Amino acid sequence: MTVIATDGVTLAADSLTTYGSLKWRYASKIYSLKDGYYAYAGSVSEGEAVYNWLKDGGDKPDVENFYCIITKGKSVRCMWSNLVRCKVPRLHADGSGSEVAIAAMHCGLSPEEAVRLAIKLCDGCGGKVNVVTL
């Protein structure tokens, strides 16, 4: 469970990871790529497998419970479990806190503020907020 959010200028994510319904540990969900950033929601092992695939190449990983945002400059794309890149609206979020984050950004909050609000309102979100400027 998580929340990741972007407005095309900033990318923000919480840091809570879960094990079933348990709050398990905290980890950064935003990674640097050669020419942008990668942030994921879903399984930690799948998120890290996709990151390694994007960074190093090789065979496409097999993932089932996965979503990510990939940036290249100001270009923002997403990928679901099929690992096909898709365009996203300028204000975009995913994860268990996505509805709160999207509504917050539509009301004028930044992605960082939107993630903080999702942490406050959603049980599946938590920890430190990581933010990068695109």
Instruction: Tell whether 89 is covered by a domain.
Output: yes
Q: Report the CATH number at residue 109.
A: 3.60.20.10
Tell me the backbone φ, ψ of residue 23, rounded to 5 degrees: -75, 120
- What is the rounded distance in angstroms from the CA atom of residue 53 to the CA atom of residue 60? 7
Q: What is the pLDDT of residues 12-27, one digit of tens each?
A: 999 998 776 767 778 8
Instruction: Tell whether 107 is covered by a domain.
Output: yes
Q: What is the pLDDT of residues 58-109, one digit of tens each?
A: 999 999 988 999 999 889 999 999 999 999 999 999 999 999 999 999 999 9
- What is the rounded distance in angstroms from the CA atom of residue 64 to the CA atom of residue 27? 21
Instruction: Tell whether 74 is covered by a domain.
Output: yes
Query: Domain of 23?
Result: 3-125
How many CB atoms neighbour CB 24 within 10 A? 11
Domain count, the chain: 1
Instruction: Tell whether 132 is covered by a domain.
Output: no
CA angle 48, 1, 21 (to 5 degrees): 115
Instruction: Tell whether 131 is covered by a domain.
Output: no
